[in-house]
Amino acid sequence: MKSLKTRHVVLAILCLMCFISYIDRVNIAVAGQLIRSELHLTPTQLGFVFAAFAYPYAAMQIYGGWLSDKFGPRRILALLSVIWAVATILTGLSWGLSTLVLCRLFVGIGEGGAFPTATRAFTFWMPVRERGFAQGITHSFARLGGAVTPPIVLFIVAAYGWRESFIVLGVVSLLWTVLWLWYYTNSPTEHPRVTAAELEEIGIKTRSVKDAGRDKTPWKEMISKMWLVTLVDFCYGWSLWVFLTWLPSYLSEARGFKLSQMAIMTMLPLLAGVVGDTLGGVVSDRIYSRTGNLRLARRSLLVVGLLGALVFILPAVITRSPVAAVGYLALAFFFLECTNAVLWSLPLDIAARYAGTAGGMMNTGFGIAGMISPVVFGFLIQRTGNYQLPFFLSAALLFVGAMCALKIDPLRKVHDPEEVVVQV
């Protein structure tokens, strides 16, 4: 039996981070109706609680990624995880709208730079041929975290209460931080378990790897090559935020599912996203391996995924059958998530050792969508009394994203004055 590769252990630890962080992100939606009832919040106020996470989340994308480029992902990701863990624990101690919003702001600060930093953590650890899979599997674990959040949170709520659910989950995040600091190094060349054979597999031809460090960040060039990716990520993120924040309320209020049915009905669409995340990355890598055409490998998954989500969101809203609506939403979320691994591979493709900053730049689109989408969704529900118009708006943005994806070029790379010695 071959020994487990060190880079795959690193990948597993980052998968665990994505899993835990998404539970801490989505738990507010699952407990939302209980919190709303106890603290006497309106739908619009609850929408602001949902959206509070997204403002610092968006603001931290570029800054968090830049910090990981400059100081290394090991220290930065540890700091960020402590921030969101403590804020999650404090959410359980909230007594009103203001404290809920404040805690969610700090969860957003902590998680805001986490995914760009995780992307930066892959720069020297993953060869090009494994990047789609690596991004796909990590984000599959993120969606798995979102999918299992309803039963986990509802179990803790039933046994103890909604406040205790936040405290328990925050403590788990702190334990992950210890694991990260114990095992990860910024480069495989620094890790005692990495052999010369594995360095060759990764594609590093020397044990002296040049990092971004104190180099001047090429902001203007990165903006010119990443802005379209950011726009597509915004269109993708708008619909994703709808699933992550309003899905439990939609299934309860618009489709009439009882609390006893909510866990499974909320989990099914999110589980479909787990499959989509991994499959999108695997298919993109396979297309690249067989054709050598990176443009085709990235663009095709983006277009098919966004248009597929559009095709299934529309009947999900129109059908009269609650069970059929869940099935259509599952298919929509599956196709939506087929794009995610590709979106997160593009910063690595385009920016290499500046991937933290580029990843943050891209995910700013997702963060801005999160600032707007939950509030607009809640406002339209309050004004119209139904969920159809908000879902139609999501469908329109999916079409815009698919058209923009046709113009994305992963071969327009950011110039590196001191090229990293990594085989690509």
Measured between alpha carbons, how far is 367 from 365 in angstroms, rounded to an integer? 5
Residue 47 CA to residue 62 CA, distance in Å, equals 25
Query: What's the pLDDT tens digit per position in 54-103?
Result: 788 878 888 888 888 888 888 999 999 999 999 999 988 877 788 888 88
Task: With a cut of 50, say whether residue 421 has pLDDT above it.
Answer: no
Between CA 168 and CA 210 the distance in angstroms is: 41
Give the whole-angstrom CA distance, residue 206 versus residue 3. Answer: 23
How high is the pLDDT of residue 215?
A: 64
261 half-sphere exposure, CB direction, 13 A CA radius: 12
174 falls in which pLDDT band (50, 70, 90)?
very high
Is the Cβ–Cβ distance between 216 and 70 less than 8 Å?
A: no
Q: What is the CATH number of domain 6-200+219-405?
A: 1.20.1250.20
Please say whether the beta carbons of 119 and 349 come within 8 A.
Answer: no
Q: Quote the CA–CA distance of 270 and 272 in Å, as a whole number.
A: 5
List the domain boundaries for the chain.
6-200+219-405
Q: Which residue has the higher pLDDT, 40 or 423?
A: 40
For residue 412, the tally of other CB atoms under 10 A from its CB is: 14
Question: Is the pTM higher than 0.85?
Answer: no
8 Å CB contact between 30 and 149: yes
C-beta separation of 112 from 56 below 8 A: yes
Are 15 and 186 contacting, i.e. CB atoms less than 8 angstroms apart?
Answer: no
Residues 232 and 305 sit within 8 Å (Cβ to Cβ):
no
d(CA 139, CA 23): 13
Identify any residues that bridge with 204 across adjacent strands, giving them in sequence order.
422
Give tens-digit pLDDT for 220-240: 888 888 999 999 999 999 988
Question: Which two structure tokens, joined as six digits, stand for 66?
Answer: 């830049």
Q: How far apart are CA 342 and CA 345, in angstroms?
A: 5
Give the 3-state secondary structure percentages of the chain, helix then strand then coil, rounded to 5.
80, 0, 20
The more confidently predicted of residues 417 and 242 is 242
- Spell out the alpha helix ranges (H) of 254-293: 259-291
